[in-house]
Amino acid sequence: MEILLAIMIAALTGCGVYLILRLRTFPVVLGLTLLSYAVNLFLFSMGRLLENAPAVIGASELHADPLPQALVLTAIVIGFAMTAFLMALALRAWGEFGSDHIDGRTDELDPEQRP
Amino acid sequence: MLFAMVALPLLGALLPRLVQPLGRRSVAVAAALPALLAFLLLASAAPAVIGEGAVWKASLPWLPQAGLALAFRLDGLAWLFALLILGIGLLVILYGHYYLDKRDPGGRFFSFLLLFMAAMLGVVTADNLLLLVVFWELTSISSFLLIGYWSDQSAARKGARMALTLTGAGGLALLAGVILIGQTVGSYDLGTVLESGDRIRADSLYPLMLSLVLFGVFTKSAQFPFQFWLPHAMSAPTPVSAYLHSATMVKAGVFLLARLYPALAGTDLWFVLVSSAGLATLLFGAWMALFRHDLKGLLAYSTISHLGLITLLFGLNTSLAAVAAVFHIINHATFKASLFMAAGIIDHETGTRDIRRLGGLRRYLPVTAVLATVASMAMAGVPLLNGFLSKEMFFAVATETSLYGSLHWLVPILAVLAGGLSVAYSLRFVHDVFFGEVPPALAAHHPHEPPYFMRAPVEVLVVLCLLVGIFPAVFVGPLLAAAASATLNGSLPEYSLAIWHGFNLPLLMSVVALFGGILLYRFRTPLFALQRSWPRPSAPQVFEHCLQNMIGAAGAVVKWIDNGALQRYVAWLLLPVALMMLAAIASMPDWLGERALTPVDGLAVLAAVLAVVSAVATVLLRRRRLIALLMISVVGLVVSLVFLRLSAPDLALTQLAVEVVTVLLLMLAMYFLPTRGTIESSSWDVSRDLFLSISIGAGMGLLALFAMTHPGDTISAFFIDNSVPGGGGKNVVNVILVDFRGFDTLGEITVLAIAAAGIYALLENLGLCLPLYDPDGRRWARERHPLVLRVISQAVLPIALLVAMYILLRGHNLPGGGFIAGLVTAVALVLQYVANGVHWVHARVPNNYHPLVASGVLLSALTGLASLLFDHPFLTSTFSHLHWPLVGEFELASAMLFDLGVYLTVVGATLLILARLGKLSVVEHEESY
Amino acid sequence: MMAHMIILPVLLPLFAGLLILLEWRQRIWLRRLISLAATAALLPLAGYLWLQAAGGEIGVYHLGDWAPPFGIVLVLDQLAALMLLVTALLALPVCLQACRGEDKNGANFQALFQFQLLGINGAFLTGDLFNLFVFFEVLLIASYALLMHGQGAERARAGVHYVVLNLTGSSLFLFGLGLIYAATGTLNMADVTRVLMEGRLVSPLLLQIGGALLLLVFALKAALLPFCFWLPGAYAAASAPVAALFAIMTKVGLYAIWRLWPLLFGHEASPLNSLVTPWLWPLALLTLAFAALGVLSATRLATLAAWLVLMSVGSLMAVLTLATEQAWAAGLYYLVHSTLAAAALFLLVGLISAQRGLLADQLKAGNDLPPSLAVLFLILAVVLVGLPPLSGFIGKMMLLQATPDAIFWILLLLASLLSLIAFSRAGSTVFWRQQKDAFAERMAVADLIPLLLLLLCTLVMVLLAGPLAEAARGIAVQLLDSQGYVDAVLGSGRALP
């Protein structure tokens, strides 16, 4: 299981990083989303893995490390807020300089696409 | 008393500005007053300092840690310079009052002048090297302001900038040198430094210190090769030139030579650097002076040459030379200042300073003519005038100098040559201006003598030249003795101040110089031709040119490093990470630790493969937005499954809920953003990105594996033990969130609230037109609210709300909690938006979410605040179990209120964001139909 | 009740911000009133906390009454107190300036402003690594929104760059935190150090990578070359009050490094010690040089100011890596000076642009400007270039004395020379080269008050240089004593159940 998780983390991180390095806003947003998935899995894995051992008193005798889970929860929420803001920013940028290029470089878009 | 002397002009600098409304006369008076008081203070010190050769000191601590103190000392040397600064300063103020045009703002002028006066006094009386630097730089600043006084003239601005740049650079070098000296000596106190000259000279850094200090000196005193700023500083009003650029500021450099003479002088290095710079400057200045057509230009270059003479004298490393130098400082200040004022008068009365357009002025300005003639005779070193005496001394020293080894005869020769040149240009100044026939243009101008008080300063100075020249022992003897002994920091050499030393070599040299000079002037025409044949680049042009190139280069470098491309910025940020990862992989630890692996089954493998594939697919299909979105949501789904499988139900639920909302967001965005774009990454970029992403991905994966298989003890045992007794909740994760680490959660929901508020502000008055076709050219559905969706959504709403409540309440003990509940509610409400449109919803739900968000966070925060009332720390939780009918055993924890706050915030924030995004489209819909 | 004072710097802006959000639409005067009151209240509060900390003993606040390392703690030592004080000194004038009308150019300004303060103060106070992350996010999201305040294409461009870079940084931060937790099994700063000293690391590798990632993120926030490219654009694009407030932002990154240096990065027992230290020194010098070139090539006053901020970052990072008492004392003095002075310059630039219409703050000859602005510009130039007798000179002098390194000397002196040139050109262009037909608008004195407040601070720094340097020395001493910090934080807990 650990190995599978590691592979997943590797794949998500890699794809996320690659997407963040694209030139258009939308892929960058996707990339950050992927990266945050990867981060959450990574952070979670730092508490080491346990099966059928939810950190609920009485539900089982063994308990997975609850702290990383709590951290991940916080991270998810914050990540959500950030993604939302970036999304809005992308729209604002598109509105401001008629291009979804991350540096605002206006490439030759067909006119009916301009805001 | 010393403080007062420096402080008077400093504080007085404000006066002229304040009294400006009262008229020009009062401004001048306001300026003269502080200077006069300071002068009287100085005079009162004369008997002690000059008479008994006492040294007055006064000091206050300022920054002892750095060795900086407000320490002042008044010894002979300081007194001499203070005399020049205040005496000539007073005369300049008087002169300036008449010189300045009615339209010029006198207040500003005199304020700067006093500021400069204070700074200069500080330089000469400072008893702490750092303090000296402080005032040193102040003189640069104030001179910048004075040169640029007529700021509408480009020449003035350029001259001012050039002067500031050079003297500023010098100041910085001086600072460095001074700190080095201080760190060698262990103190910045002047007395101590002067005492420990041997240690300084012995230090290995001595050459560095010396050159740094000398750089400061040479730039300030316009020594070759830094002389070029001075002539262009002449675009300043003439009083400024007379004051700063002949009598005082440029003397600051040579003053420093005198001041640090005991500490730094006496080595061959000193001799080579100082004397050769002096000699070069002496000749260069004298030569250039001869060919200037601008009166002030001529005087400027002659000033340069005389400063060179003084520097040379200090450089000769003999105490007699030092005495001569000090003497010449006094003389030069007197005659040069008077000459500048004379030039100013001529300019003032004839409207020109060009020698070629002047002539025969003695008919119109007889008195000025006499004064100027006498002063320039002093400059030329004609007997019975002060210039002659110091020049004699110079020649004497020059002949005696045995330095330069086999070339020792060179110095006297060059000295005579320089003397001759100075005679020549003095002659030119007098003869071309006051004698010969009057140019018609000038005659038409009807020049006449200036108002008496404008001429008075010149008279005073010229009389001084004569008195010193004729009765040196009486008028300058004690002062010179005091100053010189202060310079040498000890015993004086044998010297006599007499006009007549009998027939000797120096006298011969003077005679040769005198007649040589006359000849030079007589046959100047060929010389002029020669001079004209040489290229004469104008300093400011060259300077500005270099500066422009420098700026251009700087800009180019900056552009080259920072090309404004985000892609590169991110790459820079990720590069170290990639390298770290590679290093980690290379270091090859045991990736599989001792901890036993948890078993794998087909389902898990399938899920993992699915996640990996769809992640890669997201990358590959990123241009097919809808599909990419689908793929990424698959990834998110698998992630939440992983959480579920690995005993993190809360995470699974949260991940799922967030997933839904995020996808909704992305869809909205995707709906607006353009689909086609032509700018793409270059292949090099792609390979770079592949390198980064692969190495980072692999590294993170391996690190995760490493960490997962190497167990270590953590603090979380505490949470499991204290969850029920301490937090009153069975769901440890939730208890951590709302209790153990509730502060984090408070911060987290605040982030959400801020994001909502920020997005609201961000999207204000943003109009986007909707693409009518989707990427594949299909028309977006025209029907806005499909019926099915509408029905379902309305049915779903109440159920969803119920579920949310349930999740919220049980959260403390079973998986769930405010955040998940909030998202569920939000999703349900959003469904209403999607199904029925904004108007329909707003008609029923108040769309004013700001207060909702705020009150959510407020509720959580107040719950935490309540504990303060019981003097428990913020967020201290409390709980009690109570029995409700029907519901049964039910627990009420303050933490649940906290969680309720979380719930409200999440609902509010999500709706605020989505409604805002939804609004965008609504606006447009109405337009596009 | 006095014990609870420590948390007020966090709660005050939090509640202020929330109240303003409640009153989000109507009654701007009420929003301003709340904001001003809260900001003004920070000042005496910070002063009180400063006096508390100046004694030398470290105040620890257990949130939720859970003892460290299990609960989150706020730690008030002299460094934290100093940073709080600087923030408060900075915030009040900026808030005043914003209330002069800038806050009307967009929604929710005052609320976001308060949240920004909340994040900054929290970051200075917290003693928990993950909590530090949370407060970083708070101040970042607030700064994203504030940067975009007033909108416009330039801001959008700078905003996208700033946000994407920092979001990437946040992910790295989390990776780092995870690794540190995996390596030490704890999140409390002091506890991490204790684990370090007791050699209970799971593996040095995990801590090395984790710590290095954190350092990287802080370097991004502090704008160290080559992670500084977001800075000039963002600071130059932001509206004057926002840019002025941002003057403290880079210092937050520096603070984090400073805080963790004795505990983690530079700790002799730390596997990071040999890993990171060699890198920072050259990067700091390069930053300094790069910023100097930027200052010289600036074509707008705001850009000039932004590059100056970067310059201060370079020199501060350099002395930080020296990790000696003298160096840190000098650095702390310089930090305070550069923050306040840069903020003042941003405010002044705002006033100047307001007077020059379309020309705004470009370095071109424009209309006549009120002499008051010219005088203020001159004074600020003297302060920022580091000419005597103002705080810049003192700071520079202390830096030089504390740094026995030729290259640093050369770079710092060259940098000040280049900024001298830049300022003389800028000043003579903007204030001296004026078209005759142009007009000079009257300045309302009220517009100058915020600026004057900041200048007053720098002036005080000059007059009280001696005592302040002494205090800085005290801070450095306390900071270098990592053992003392650990004992104070972990010893403060009640007996564990």
Give the tens place of pLDDT for each residue, B729-773: 788 888 888 888 989 999 999 999 999 999 988 888 776 655 555
- Is the confidence at residue C115, as pLDDT, over 90? yes
Per-residue 3-state assignment (H helix, E strand, C coil) for C54-65: HCCCCEEEEHHH
Are C74 and C60 contacting, i.e. CB atoms less than 8 angstroms apart? Answer: yes
What is residue C91's predicted lDDT score, i.e. its pLDDT?
95
- Which string of DSSP letters, residue by residue, matches C158-182? HHHHHHHHHHHHHHHHHHHHHHHHH
Per-residue pLDDT averaged across C460-486, rounded? 92
Are C84 and C125 contacting, i.e. CB atoms less than 8 angstroms apart? Answer: yes
- For residue A22, give the nearest of B608, B622, B645 by CB distance: B622
Per-residue pLDDT averaged across B43-48, rounded? 87
- In this complex, the chains that touch C, judged by 3 or more CB pairs closer than 8 A, are A, B
The band of B925, judged by pLDDT with boundaries at 50, 70 and 90, is: very low
CB burial of A59-92 (b: ≥16 within 10 Å; e: otherwise) equals: beeebbbbbbbbbbbbbbbbbbbbbbbbbbbbbb
Query: What chain B residue is nearest to C209 in terms of C-alpha separation?
Result: B580
A40 and B655 within 8 Å at the Cβ level: the answer is: yes
Spatial distance between the Cα atoms of B343 and C460, rounded to a whole number of angstroms: 45
Spatial distance between the Cα atoms of B895 and B866, rounded to a whole number of angstroms: 12
Residue A94 DSSP class: H
Are B570 and C172 contacting, i.e. CB atoms less than 8 angstroms apart? Answer: no
Radius of gyration of chain B from Cα atoms? Answer: 43
- What value does the mean pLDDT of chain B take? 83
Paired with B73 in beta bridges are B57
> Hey, what are B679's tokens?
């700018």
Per-residue pLDDT averaged across C353-373, rounded? 82
Note whether ipTM > 0.90 here.
yes
What is residue B841's predicted lDDT score, i.e. its pLDDT?
63
Spatial distance between the Cα atoms of C36 and B410, rounded to a whole number of angstroms: 76
Q: Mark which residues 313-372 of C lie under 8 Å from B by CB.
A: 329
What is residue B926's predicted lDDT score, i.e. its pLDDT?
40
The three-state secondary structure class of C75 is strand
The three-state secondary structure class of C135 is helix
- Which H or E element spans position C76? strand C73-76
The band of C346, judged by pLDDT with boundaries at 50, 70 and 90, is: very high
The three-state secondary structure class of C110 is helix
Instruction: Give the residue among C108, C362, C87, C363 at the shortest CA–CA distance from C244.
Output: C87
Weakest-pLDDT range from B102-111, B307-316, B343-352, C61-70: B102-111
- Which string of DSSP letters, residue by residue, matches B352-415? --BGGG---GGGT-HHHHHHHHHHHHHHHT-TTSHHHHHHHHHHHHHHH---SGGGTTHHHHHH
> Hey, what are B92's tokens?
């300049």
What is residue C36's predicted lDDT score, i.e. its pLDDT?
92
Spatial distance between the Cα atoms of B240 and B231, rounded to a whole number of angstroms: 13
Asked if the C-beta of C214 comes within 8 angstroms of chain B's C-beta atoms, the answer is: no
> A91 to chain B: which residues are within 8 Å by CB?
669, 672-673, 763, 766, 768, 917, 920
Weakest-pLDDT range from B674-688, C386-400, C447-461: B674-688
> What is the nearest CA distance from B214 to chain C, expressed in angstroms?
16
Q: How far is CA C387 from CA B133, B222, B252, in A?
A: 10, 21, 18
CA angle B816, B820, B825 (to 5 degrees): 125
A21 and B693 within 8 Å at the Cβ level: the answer is: yes
Q: Mark which residues 478-497 of C lie under 8 Å from B by CB.
A: 496-497
What is residue C409's predicted lDDT score, i.e. its pLDDT?
92
Are C129 and C72 contacting, i.e. CB atoms less than 8 angstroms apart? Answer: no
Are B185 and B152 contacting, i.e. CB atoms less than 8 angstroms apart? Answer: no
Spatial distance between the Cα atoms of B763 and C151, rounded to a whole number of angstroms: 9
Query: B888-893 and C59-62: which strand pairing?
Result: unpaired
Q: How far is CA B686 from CA B575, B694, B900, in A?
A: 14, 12, 48
Are C126 and C77 contacting, i.e. CB atoms less than 8 angstroms apart? Answer: no
Are C317 and C283 contacting, i.e. CB atoms less than 8 angstroms apart? Answer: yes
Query: What chain B residue is nearest to A84 in terms of C-alpha separation?
Result: B665
Residue with tokens 């104030």: B142
User: Which pTM does this prediction carry?
Assistant: 0.91
The three-state secondary structure class of C188 is strand
Are B341 and B95 contacting, i.e. CB atoms less than 8 angstroms apart? Answer: yes
What is residue C343's predicted lDDT score, i.e. its pLDDT?
95
Cβ-count burial of C27 within 10 angstroms (0-12 exposed, 13-18 middle, 19+ buried)? exposed
Pick C20 or B24 by higher pLDDT. C20
What is residue C497's predicted lDDT score, i.e. its pLDDT?
33
Pick B443 or B537 by higher pLDDT. B443
What is residue C296's predicted lDDT score, i.e. its pLDDT?
92
What is residue C1's predicted lDDT score, i.e. its pLDDT?
58
Alpha carbon A24 to chain centroid, angstroms: 17
Asked if the C-beta of C111 comes within 8 angstroms of chain B's C-beta atoms, the answer is: yes
Rank B60-64, B372-376, C41-45 by mean pLDDT and report only the highest: C41-45
Per-residue pLDDT averaged across C65-82, rounded? 91
Q: What is the dihedral sign for C-alpha C145, C150, C151, C152?
A: negative
Per-residue pLDDT averaged across B577-588, rounded? 89
Q: Which amino acid is at B317?
A: N
A49 and B598 within 8 Å at the Cβ level: the answer is: yes
Give the tens place of pLDDT for each residue, B250-280: 889 999 999 999 888 888 888 889 988 998 9
Q: What is the dihedral sign for C-alpha C324, C325, C326, C331?
A: positive
**Helix and strand element counts for chain C (H, E):** 20, 2
Are C91 and C245 contacting, i.e. CB atoms less than 8 angstroms apart? Answer: yes
Give the tens place of pLDDT for each residue, B592-616: 877 778 888 888 889 889 999 999 9
Asked if the C-beta of B547 comes within 8 angstroms of chain A's C-beta atoms, the answer is: no
Alpha carbon B601 to chain centroid, angstroms: 65
Length of chain A: 115
Weakest-pLDDT range from B118-127, B224-233, C445-454: B224-233
The band of C316, judged by pLDDT with boundaries at 50, 70 and 90, is: very high
Q: Mark which residues 46-65 of A lie under 8 Å from C by CB.
A: 46-47
Give the tens place of pLDDT for each residue, B810-859: 766 776 778 888 888 888 887 777 677 666 666 665 667 888 889 899 89
